[in-house]
């Protein structure tokens, strides 16, 4: 592997992975809620529970705003997952050079 990974995520303190997991969990909940409050073809969460799906409590332009916020949150979520994997995975084992024996076994 390259030494760039070691320079970027060298000795990671032990408190960072749990903090990243908590942030990732909160981002996941926020992303789930964002998707549920959006109004799609079926009327969103309000339509699933028998509410009126034609009107939005957040205004008529809320769909565009929610779409942008959802895309941004999903990008942050993917970035957090990539960072979490990079920080928590163990380093690759060191490759040792094969030793060549100088004794002749065939003589």
Both tokens of residue 58? Answer: 């957040």
Residue 60 domain flag? yes
Q: What pLDDT shows up at residue 94?
A: 82
* Residue 51 falls inside a structural domain: yes
pLDDT score for 5: 46
| 58 part of a folded domain | yes
User: Would residue 62 count as lying in a domain?
Assistant: yes
Q: How far is CA 76 from CA 29, 56, 85, 92, 94, in A?
A: 13, 26, 14, 27, 33
Tally of domains in the chain: 1
| Residue 62 pLDDT > 80 | no
Residue 10 is assigned to a structural domain of this protein:
no
Residue 24 belongs to some domain of the structure: no
Burial class (CB in 10 A: 0-12, 13-18, 19+), 105: exposed
Q: Which residue has the higher pLDDT, 36 or 48?
A: 36
Q: Spell out where 2-53 has E strands.
A: none
Q: Which has more confidence, 69 or 95?
A: 69
Predicted local distance difference test score (pLDDT) of residue 58: 61
Boundaries of domain holding 41: 34-88
């Amino acid at each position: 592997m390259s030494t760039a990974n070691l320079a970027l995520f060298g000795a990671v303190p032990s408190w960072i992975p749990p903090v990243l997991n908590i942030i990732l969990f909160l981002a996941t909940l926020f992303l789930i809620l964002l998707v549920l409050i959006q109004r799609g073809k079926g009327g969103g969460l309000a339509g699933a529970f028998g509410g009126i799906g034609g009107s939005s409590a957040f205004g008529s332009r809320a769909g565009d705003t929610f779409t942008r916020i959802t895309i941004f949150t999903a990008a942050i979520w993917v970035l957090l997952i990539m960072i979490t994997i990079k920080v928590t995975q163990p380093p690759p084992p060191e490759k040792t050079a094969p030793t060549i024996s100088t004794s002749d076994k065939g003589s």
